[in-house]
Chain A
Amino acid sequence: MKEIVEFIAKALVDYPEQVDVRLVEGERSVILELRVAPEDMGKIIGKQGRIAKAIRTVVNAAAVKENKRVMVEIIE
């Protein structure tokens, strides 16, 4: 799942080399912390958070397959 967030994020931004995803594992859930270059923040969030929401939807589908709860957090 970490790889999926990383792959989609890199395809969306201008500075793919600055995309960083960290996995914080809880007991039942997993948090994926996504960091991008400051200039790319808007590119990953989108108007009214539409892009961020789409990323979460796709990642959640992957999570269902692995039977986990996943949260994607975009960190400034």
Chain B
Amino acid sequence: MQRVIDIHLAGHPSPFRLDEDAYDALRTYLERAWAGIADAADQAEVAGDLERSIGAKLSERMAAEPRILMLADVEAVLTDIGPVAGGETPGREPAAGFGPIGGGRTRPRRRLYRIREGQQIAGVCEGLAAYSEIDVGWVRTIFVFATLITVGFFPFVYLALAFILPVVPSYDAWLAAMDDAT
């Protein structure tokens, strides 16, 4: 049984009807976007921009007949829009996005994402590989062994991660998201 939630998006006079999973995904995305933007004036502005665009893309997906929007609809739209890059944080060094080449530079704080580029199932291993800087082949090997050792429990961990983690289309997009999360 699924609950259905009506939401209003900026710029769109009629409401959108979402199932609970779709609603949760959208709310998480918008909250993360809001939190990721440093300047208060930008927050409201960008939230409006995002809502107008999300609404337009969801309308397109419904085409002629209004229907309940599912997680897949919201995920497709949010993947198209991409993670929100927060702009400059005041006082941050411009070079902070680079790796530890210079010695004293700090690495941007990393976050775990699913990465679609090169994915086998849902991109969880690609995301873990980028996060841990371990080759993706090794990450997959570890997953397979963990599955054997835990007598089949580990795929549920994978499944849970596939649902929980936000997704980015490529490694470049992941780097961009890390850069802006600092």
- Are A and B subunits of one complex? no
B interface vs A, CB < 8 Å? none
A interface vs B, CB < 8 Å? none
